[in-house]
Amino acid sequence: MYSKVISGVVTGVEGTLIQVEADISDGLPMFSMVGYLSSCVKEAGERVRTALKNSGFCLPPKRITINLSPAAIRKDGTAFDLPIAIGILTSLGVITKEKVNSVLIIGELSLDGHVNPVSGVLPIVHHALKQGITNCIVPMENSNEAALINEMEVIPVSSLNEAVDYLCDIISIEPSYVDIESIINASYENENVDFSEVMGHEILKRGIEIAAAGFHNVLMTGSAGSGKSMIARRIPTILPQLTFEECLDITKIYSIAGLLKKDMPMICQRPFRTPHHTISVHAMAGGGIEPKPGEMSLSHNGVLFLDELPEFSRNVLEVMRQPLEDGEITISRLNGIYRFPSDFMLVAARNPCPCGCYPDMNKCTCTLNQIKRYNDKISKPLLDRIDINVDVRKVEYEELFSDKKGMSSKEMREHVLIAQSIQQKRYKNDNISFNSQLDARLCNKYITLSDSEKDFLRHVFEKNELSARGSYRILKIARTIADIEESERVTEKHLREAVFFRNTEGEVL
């Protein structure tokens, strides 16, 4: 007897529906599985057979054939265990075919029949809804994650017997529900750092505010202990609250990576990732036989903070060049091309020299050649993709213990929200959201300069020997500064401030 059950697999960051076909026929007793399977899926046969036996179901001595269709897509993961078991029981007549029609089934089986959680449930459920499927059966631990898709009726099960009893109408199970609004609000009540705690650093805070308003990349250069990491960790507190669509996109990535917490099924705060400088290329960009997202994708719509930038491997730094331009990572494999979103704000920090004490020559023990080799680890093309460069000075005693409080994260966020609101209205028909995403054509369209402003820009271009990319980045920073000040035009004042924060070599105009 033949039956068919719907399941799914993740390809990149999107789900794909898989038809689990089961056929039981006369012949030599055997259990065979086909359909371009990974070793992990091939092992499902033993898990399913043992789980069925320990759950009280007896398999007849017949030929059992399982096909996972379409065969052209490689199947990986353990999410097919439960649908295979349900397919076999449907072929045996234990469950009627009508009960499994248009029902998505996902889950891993233990040998005793317990249903274990799997990764990647959210993108599969989201894709299934787009295909018209409105009911799904998932592991109990994945139910809140799947319930983020409001239009989907999510049935949580903890064992194979429970799933069978539900499909046979022996028991009823209350569908899972999550209050998305309360989750989002609760996440913002947990912010425990604030820019008001940062004493001094007014120029740096201004640069960070501009970067956040236009989603520009930032490089901070300063001696050890000057406050670079402290500043970086507060950047998410001035970024706008995520929209539901952004939350969903980020949560999909974390679901695929298996990083979702049971008590927090949705990522509602902008990611802040801080990989160690010993990270590998694959861990940064993503990869594997079946590619999984790396740190750049896990930072999507958030901040990727690289402390001690020159200590990172040259290959790791160079792999970021294309994603910084395109906002996505493309990984090619023999069986397909995988695309992972990676539209993040790069925040990097470095010491001015290997010992971290320069320019204090009383403490610095580095030679000029050592300092040059240290900073040459970062290539010019990568530096060219970083919009804002700020020197971080040590705070003076009077500033550190002053009673005067600096601008709070709330006040800075208000400036950022004003600027980003202007950008979203301006670019609503251009498929971009921030000034940092402007290309040459859009720069010429939205940034008009007078003759005196063009002369100033020409002077900067010639004196600093800027590249074309560097020139346009000055214009984009100036456009963001003008938006913060709610100015329709970019003036020479805005250009001068943009040049100050863009300057990679420390020249003073």
pLDDT in tens, 204-250: 899 999 999 999 999 999 888 788 888 999 999 999 888 888 899 99
- Is the pLDDT at 375 greater than 90? The verdict is no
Selected residue with higher pLDDT from 117 and 506: 117
Average pLDDT value over all residues in the chain: 89
How do residues 131-169 score in pLDDT, each as one tens digit? 999 999 999 999 999 999 989 999 999 999 999 999 999
Distance between alpha carbon 437 and the CA centroid of its chain, in Å? Answer: 18
- Is the pLDDT at 10 greater than 50? The verdict is yes
DSSP 175: P
DSSP 36: S
What type of residue is 225? G
b or e along 135-157 (b: 16 or more beta carbons within 10 Å of the residue's beta carbon)? bbbbbbbbbbbbbbbeebbbbbb
How would residue 325 be classed by pLDDT, with cut points 50, 70 and 90?
Answer: confident
How would residue 186 be classed by pLDDT, with cut points 50, 70 and 90?
Answer: low
pLDDT the model gives residue 359: 74
Distance between alpha carbon 169 and the CA centroid of its chain, in Å? Answer: 40
Contact between 367 and 324 (Cβ < 8 Å): no
Q: 149: closest CA among 170, 118, 131, 127?
A: 127
Q: 35: closest CA among 9, 63, 3, 14?
A: 9
pLDDT the model gives residue 506: 40
How do residues 459-496 score in pLDDT, each as one tens digit? 888 888 777 888 888 999 999 999 999 999 999 999 99
How would residue 188 be classed by pLDDT, with cut points 50, 70 and 90?
Answer: low
Pick from 140-144, 293-297, 364-368: least confident: 364-368
* pTM for this entry: 0.86
What type of residue is 210? I
Contact between 167 and 92 (Cβ < 8 Å): no
DSSP 267: -
Q: 81: closest CA among 147, 37, 125, 25?
A: 37
- Is the pLDDT at 176 greater than 90? The verdict is yes
Can you tell me the distance from the alpha carbon of 49 to that of 339, in angstroms, rounded to the nearest whole number?
36
- Is the pLDDT at 508 greater than 50? The verdict is no
Selected residue with higher pLDDT from 64 and 223: 64
pLDDT the model gives residue 507: 37
pLDDT the model gives residue 509: 32
Written as one string, the DSSP assignment of 222-244 is E-TTSSHHHHHTTGGGGSPPPPH
Q: Give long-range contacts, CB 8 A cutoff, 24+ apart: 499-504.
A: 499/460, 499/474, 501/207, 501/210, 501/387, 501/388, 501/389, 501/390, 501/477, 502/387, 502/388, 502/389, 502/470, 502/473, 502/474, 502/477, 503/389, 503/464, 504/383, 504/386, 504/389, 504/470
Selected residue with higher pLDDT from 271 and 361: 271
Contact between 128 and 104 (Cβ < 8 Å): yes
Can you tell me the distance from the alpha carbon of 489 to that of 423, in angstroms, rounded to the nearest whole number?
13
Selected residue with higher pLDDT from 394 and 74: 74
- Is the pLDDT at 72 greater than 90? The verdict is no
